Structure 1
Amino acid sequence: MDMREDTELTLTVDRLAFGGKGVARVDGLVVFVDGGLPGATVRAKVTRVKKGFAEARAVETLTPAPQAVAAPCPHFGVCGGCLHQDLDYAAQLFWKRQQVAETLSRLGGLRDVDVAPAVASPETYGYRNKMEFAFAGRLHLGLHERQRPGRVLDIEKCLLMDDRTGDILAFAREACAATGLAAYDPRTGKGVWRHLVVRRSLATGGRLVHLITGPSRRAGDAAHHFGEALLERFPDVSGFVHSVRRAPTTVAIGERQVFALGTDHLEERIGDVRLRISADAFAQTNTTAAEKLYAVVAQAAGTAPDRALWDVYCGCGGIALALAPGFETVYGVEADKRAVADAQKSAKLSERENCVFKTGDAATVLADLAATKPAVVTLDPPRAGADGQTLAAVMDAAPEKLVYVSCNPATLARDLKILSDLYTLTQVTPVDLFPHTAHIEVVAALELRR
C-alpha cells in the first residue's frame, strides 16, 4: 500500500505500546495510533511515515474498545496531561505490566523475567501532590496541548489534583495577566512568566506555590505583589517562592531563588517518614502510591542490621529514610545539594540517626564509600538511567542485593543488561504512580550470583 501523510485508514488496534499509543498493522506495517485503544476499530489519519513503521491519529471511533470508558475531564483529548482517562483502570494496569515485560525483552534481552501485576494507585483522580503549569503569550496559564505541545491550554481545573488547585490557577492567570507583562519566550529570551508550580501536603494540608520567571528586571516587583495577594486570598497556601530561570529549556526548575513569603517548604509523611520538601525538590508526586512503592522496595531490600546500605540518586531521602531501621548505616548519595539539605533535615524530623547524606558525583562518592561494603544498594536514577561509571562502582562493591527503581523501562532494560554480568534479576514490579498517563514506575530486584 502507498501510505503517505494525511492518508486515511481504517485500523483495528490490538495492543498498547510503551508510550501510550495503540498498535495496529496494515499489510504487515506497524502503525502507532494516537488515541487508539486495544480492541477498537478507528478511522485514523497518517501523520508520519518512516521506514518500518508509521504514525497516525485516531479521528473517529468506529467500534469502541471493550474496556473503553467515558473520560470525566472536559479537557481530555486536547490537554496533553492524560492519555488514558478513556480506558478502564484495570486495563491500564494490565497494559503497563505488558509494556514493562515487552521493553525488558526487546531492549534488555530479558525474556524470562517474572513481571508481577502492576500495583494500583490507591487514588486514580486527585492523586497528585504537585502540578507544573506553564505560561504562554499574553496570557495563557495551564498545560501543554496533546497534539500541539508548543501551545498552552487554559484549563479550569485538573482532575489529577484537587479542586483548590484550579482556584489557585484561575487567580494566578488573572493576576499575572493584569500586570500587562507577557510570558517568557525561550526563542527571544524576552518576557517574564515561565511556570507556576503548586504543591500540597496530605499530612498538613499546607500548600507551597512556586513562581518561576525569566530574568527580566520587571519580574521581581510583579512577583512580590502577586505572592502577597496570593497568600492573602488563600489562607491554606503556607508559602510562596519566587525563582528565576535563565536557561531557555522549558523545565519547571528555578536556577536561583529570589525570595520566599511565608514558609519555603512543605512537610509530608510517607508511612513513618517525615519529608521536608523544598520548592525545587524531587519527591514522588503521588503520596499514597509512594507508600506502596516504598513497601515494594523494602521487601526487595530486606534487612541487614549490622551492615550498610547505599541509596544512590537519593533525592530528598525518602527511600533511604524508609529503609534505615533495617540497617546499621544508610548512605544517601545525590548530586543536588539542595536535595541533600532536605534529606538531612528530613532525617532529623524522622529521627533517623543512622543516615549519612553526601553530595557529589555518584561514581566519585561511591569510590570513597567502598570501605563500607554495603549489603544492599538501591538506585533511583532520573529518566536517563544510571551512568556507566556509577554502575561500575556499584558492581565493584558487589552488594548481595540491588534494588533498582526506574521511571523509564527503556533505560532500566539497558542498565539491567549491564548488571546481568554479576546479578540475577529475581523480580520486577510495576507500581502505578501515574494513573491515566503513559508513565510507569518499576522496581527491579537483583541478587548477586554466587
Structure 2
Amino acid sequence: MQCDYFDAGRCRSCTLMGVPYAAQLASGQRRVAETLERHVPAEVWLPPVSGPESHFRNKAKLVVGGRKGAPTLGILDDGGRGVDLRHCGLHEEPLHRAILALADLLPGSGLTPYDVPSRQGELKHVLLSVSPDAELMARFVLRSPGQRARVEELLARLRTALPGLRVASINLQPEHKAVLEGPEEVVLTPERTLPMRVGAMTLHLGTRSFFQTNTQVAGALYAQVAQWVAAERPRSVWDLYCGVGGFALACATAAPGWTPDVLGVEVSAEAVASARLGAEQLGLTDHVHFRTGDATAQLDAAAPLDADAGPDPEAGRADPQTLVVNPPRRGIGPRLAGALERSGAATVVYSSCNPSSLATDLSRLPSWRVERARLFDMFPQTSHHEVAVLLHRR
C-alpha cells in the first residue's frame, strides 16, 4: 500500500507502510509465535487469516483541529495542531465518502474546533462507524452542550448527503485530557443502534459499543472460534467480556441440531441490551442469555443448573463446560485466571489483541495446554494483531 500522508511525513501511524503485505503477515506471524513460544508449540499454529491491506477500517476516530470555518479532520501533530487526513486509504469506501461529506459541510456549521494548546473551542472529535450495508453512525464529541443546535443543523445537511446515516449522538467531554470521549452521551436520532451484519448474524452497536475495526477479519475470527467450540459439543458455553454478543451468537448458531445453553457476561449494560436484541432477532432467547456483570465474579459464582428449571435470564446458568474470553489489551489478569483454574470447564477459547498479555495469562494457567492457535490480521500496516487460542485441560 502507498500513502501520500506517510510519504510526506504528515502521519506515521502506520508503522509498516510501504512494506509488502505478504512480508508484513509473515513477520507478524513470526513475532507472535516468538512471544508465545513457551506456551504455544509451533505445530499447533494454523495459517494466519488476513483481509485487504487497504480500505478495511469500519470506523474512523477523527480529531478535529484547525479553526472555525477551516477545520481539519485527522490527527494532531507534536505541537497539538490539526493534521488533515480526510483521504486516508485505510477506511472502507462508504466511510471514506462520509468523511469527505463531513469535511465539506463542517466549515459552514459554525462549530469551533477545539484547540489543544490554547484549550479553547468546542468540537473535539468526530467518531464514525460504517456497517456492511453502508449504514452509518456519527458521534460528535463536544466540550460543552451549548453547541447542540449547531450539531443538529449539521446533521440535517449530512442526512441529505449521506442517506445511510442511521445513528447520531453528542458525547460530552468537558475535561482537557488525553481521552477520546466523556461519560455523557445524548442520542439525537430515533435509531439508537447500528446493525452490523456478520455472516449469518446481525450484531447491534450502541454508541459506546466495542466492535472489531476490520469487519471481514472479525467475521473470520467469530467463525473460527465457533468452529472450535462446536467441535466439542458442550452443553453449556459462557462468553466472558461478551460485548454485543459476537462470540456467543456465533457459537449458538455454529452447528445445526446443536443448541447449547449460552451465557454472555459484560460490564456494559448498553452492550448487553444490544446483545439481547441480536439474540431476539435470531430467535435464540430460549437458550441464549446475557447478563450485566463482572466476568470473574460470575465465574466464581458458577453453580450447576437445575435441569427442571425453566430458562431464566436472571438466574444462574449452568456451570460452563466451555468458556470464551475476549478481554481488553491488559488480558484477563490473575483473578480471572485463578477462576479459570478452579472452574469445571474442559475447554477455553481465548481471543487476544495483545500477545504479550496473552503470554502472561497463559503462564497463569498451568492446568491448561494450547491445542490450536491462529493469528488474525485485523490491523494491516501495523504490528498489532489478534490471536485466538484453543485450550484444553491437561
- Which residue matches 1:286? 214
After superposition, the Cα gap between the structure-2 partners of 1:114 and 1:411, relative to the gap in structure 1 and judged at 3 Å, is farther
Instruction: Choose which of 319, 323, 331 in structure 2 pairs with 1:385.
Output: 331
Q: CA deviation at 1:253?
A: 4.0
**What root-mean-square deviation, in Å, do the aligned CA atoms of Structure 1 and Structure 2 show?**
2.5
CA contact (8 A) 1:383 1:408 kept: yes
- Is 1:141 the counterpart of 2:69 in the alignment? no
- Which residue matches 1:258? 186
Q: CA deviation at 1:195?
A: 1.5
- Which residue matches 1:422? 367
- Which residue matches 1:120? 49
CA contact (8 A) 2:171 2:185 kept: yes
Q: How many residues align?
A: 372
Normalising to structure 2: TM-score of the pair?
0.86
- Which residue matches 2:353? 407
SS at match of 1:415: helix
- Which residue matches 1:29? none
Normalising to structure 1: TM-score of the pair?
0.76
SS at match of 1:378: strand
- Is 1:433 the counterpart of 2:369 in the alignment? no
Structure with greater strand share of residues? 1
- Which residue matches 1:358? 291
After superposition, the Cα gap between the structure-2 partners of 1:87 and 1:264, relative to the gap in structure 1 and judged at 3 Å, is same
Instruction: Choose which of 311, 316, 322 in structure 2 pairs with 1:376.
Output: 322
Alignment-mate amino acid for residue 390 of structure 1: L
- Which residue matches 1:225? 153
- Which residue matches 1:172? 102
| Higher RCO (Cα < 8 Å, 6 or more apart) | 2
Q: CA deviation at 1:357?
A: 0.7
CA contact (8 A) 1:211 1:243 kept: yes
Instruction: Choose which of 198, 211, 225 in structure 1 pairs with 2:128.
Output: 198
Q: Distance in 2 between matches of 1:303 and 1:117?
A: 16
Alignment-mate amino acid for residue 144 of structure 1: I
SS at match of 1:76: helix
- Is 1:235 the counterpart of 2:163 in the alignment? yes
Q: Distance in 2 between matches of 1:384 and 1:240?
A: 30
Q: CA deviation at 1:327?
A: 4.7
Q: After the TM superposition, which of the residue ranges 178-187 and 330-339 deviates more from structure 2?
A: 178-187
Alignment-mate amino acid for residue 222 of structure 1: R
- Which residue matches 1:59? none
Q: Distance in 1 between matches of 2:202 and 2:49?
A: 23
Q: After the TM superposition, which of the residue ranges 114-123 and 89-98 deviates more from structure 2?
A: 114-123
What whole-Å deviation, never above 9, does each CA across 1:71-102 have from its counterpart, x for those lacking one? Answer: 42221253244222311111111011111112
Q: CA deviation at 1:179?
A: 4.8
Q: CA deviation at 1:264?
A: 2.6
CA contact (8 A) 1:316 1:342 kept: yes
Q: CA deviation at 1:117?
A: 5.2
Structure 2 portions without partners, runs of 5+: 305-317
Alignment-mate amino acid for residue 75 of structure 1: Y
After superposition, the Cα gap between the structure-2 partners of 1:399 and 1:189, relative to the gap in structure 1 and judged at 3 Å, is farther
- Which residue matches 1:448? 393
Structure 1 portions without partners, runs of 5+: 1-70
CA contact (8 A) 2:346 2:392 kept: yes
SS at match of 1:261: coil
Q: Distance in 2 between matches of 1:261 and 1:200?
A: 16
Q: Distance in 2 between matches of 1:306 and 1:260?
A: 43
Query: 1:307-322 maps to which residues of 2 (within 5 A)?
Result: 307-322=235-250
CA contact (8 A) 2:240 2:264 kept: yes
- Which residue matches 2:30? 98
Query: 1:337-356 maps to which residues of 2 (within 5 A)?
Result: 337-353=269-285, 354-356=287-289
Q: Distance in 2 between matches of 1:384 and 1:184?
A: 31
* Identity among equivalent pairs (%): 29
Q: Which has the larger radius of gyration?
A: 1
Alignment-mate amino acid for residue 158 of structure 2: L
- Is 1:87 the counterpart of 2:19 in the alignment? yes
Q: Distance in 2 between matches of 1:81 and 1:118?
A: 27
CA contact (8 A) 1:187 1:248 kept: no
Q: Distance in 2 between matches of 1:111 and 1:273?
A: 31
SS at match of 1:294: helix
